[in-house]
Amino acid sequence: MCGIVGLFLKNEKLEPDLGRHLSRMLASMSARGPDSAGIAIYGAGSVERIKLTLRITDASSDGDLATGLEAELGAPVDLVRRSNHVVLGIPGDRQSEALAWLHQHYAGVHLVSAGSRMEIYKEVGRPEQVAGQFKLSEMRGTHGIGHTRMATESAVTTDGAHPFSTGADQCLVHNGSLSNHNAVRRNLKREGLVFETENDSEVAAGYLTWRMRGGDSLREALTSSIDALDGFFTFVVGTRDGFAVLRDPIACKPAVMAESDDYVAFGSEFRALAVLPGIEDARVFEPEPATVYAWERR
């Protein structure tokens, strides 16, 4: 199964409540994916800085980590811990140096995502538990995507939880299963992409990253994926300023959307949208098969 929720705000007055809404939406999709859950949140940020979301279980050395990395980079570093994830803010052009230093000094550090605005949190466990663990309801931002996973194609691990991110500020969640992911992964590896799991959904994320790197818009990248990716899928994709939805040509996996002047929302079932303010007056519709729906922040 798996459940997906997504919320893209048009009205900035709702931004302080993004996490609260997403957290309720995620909990409503618990029955569709009780194995693990994850959230991508697009919050505050600037182009000069990059946020690295890392999984570092041991909190005791956070102080040393920040001071050590500041000394290494010769620049200020911000550190925010949420449970076993840490978000580091560093100068935008110093990512590879910072990661090299981290891997050298902290065994077991794992990069979850990188981006000027995006942070990703994911963990095994029931979705409402995962949302509580990271205090999702306190997060603010412009858009966010969440996923509740019932694993079918690979193991129930934190790395196998969605969202997957294969490029800065890019993330993808997937309900379904791809049948040609091994072949596509091989081709993408030849193009220089790096994959961390054997998961089919990570390949879909990588494919879109590769297309966008080549100059495609999010809409164009998704359109080309209809032919390139074989299998069942409903994708919800986030970029720094964009939000998009695509279903496979026979629309195997469920999807329902709502749009109003205030927001665009996605849910695997209407139950996920029923918790939103003003849903009575939103236009509720089912996205068509093999049709890309994309929104961009102005």
Partner 1 sequence: MPSFDLEQQTVRELNQALHGAAPDSNDTLWEVANSDGKHAIAAGADAAVEIDIRGHVGYYCAGMNKRASVRIHGNAGTGVAENMMSGVVHVMGDVSQSAGATGHGGLLIVEGDAAARCGISMKGIDIVVKGSIGAMSAFMGQAGNLVVLGDAGDALGDSIYEAKIFVRGRVKSLGADCIEKPMAEDDRARLAELLSRAGIEDARPDGFRMYGSARRLYHFHVDNIASY
Give me the residues that bind partner 1 (CB under 8 A), please.
Answer: 250-251, 254, 256, 269-274, 284-286, 288-289
Nearest residue (CB) to partner 1, 143 versus 247: 247
The answer to whether 62 and 81 have CB atoms below 8 angstroms apart is: yes
Nearest residue (CB) to partner 1, 212 versus 275: 275
Alpha carbons within 13 angstroms on the beta-carbon side of residue 100 total 6
DSSP secondary structure code for residue 254 in this structure: -
Of 236, 172, 178, which is closest to residue 210 (Cα–Cα)?
172
Where in the sequence numbering do the catalytic residues fall?
A: 2
**Shortest gap between Cβ of 41 and partner 1 (angstroms)?**
24
**What is the Cα gyration radius of the chain?**
18
Nearest residue (CB) to partner 1, 177 versus 291: 291
**Shortest gap between Cβ of 294 and partner 1 (angstroms)?**
20
Spatial separation of the C-alpha atoms in residues 86 and 53, rounded to whole Å: 6
- What is the secondary structure of 214-232 as a DSSP string? TT--HHHHHHHHHHH--EE
**Shortest gap between Cβ of 235 and partner 1 (angstroms)?**
18
Tokens 């390139």 correspond to 228
First to last CA, the chain: 34
Tokens of 8: 């893209």
Beta strand residue intervals within the chain, DSSP E: 3-9, 36-42, 49-55, 78-82, 85-91, 110-115, 118-124, 143-149, 164-167, 170-178, 231-238, 242-247, 256-259, 263-267, 283-285, 293-296
Q: Is the dihedral of CA 238, 50, 45, 108 positive or negative?
A: positive
**Shortest gap between Cβ of 258 and partner 1 (angstroms)?**
10
Nearest residue (CB) to partner 1, 180 versus 285: 285
Spatial separation of the C-alpha atoms in residues 167 and 179, rounded to whole Å: 23
**Shortest gap between Cβ of 256 and partner 1 (angstroms)?**
7
DSSP secondary structure code for residue 138 in this structure: G
**Shortest gap between Cβ of 68 and partner 1 (angstroms)?**
50
Q: Name 250's Cβ contacts closer than 8 Å, sequence gap at least 6.
A: 289
Nearest residue (CB) to partner 1, 173 versus 273: 273
Nearest residue (CB) to partner 1, 111 versus 284: 284
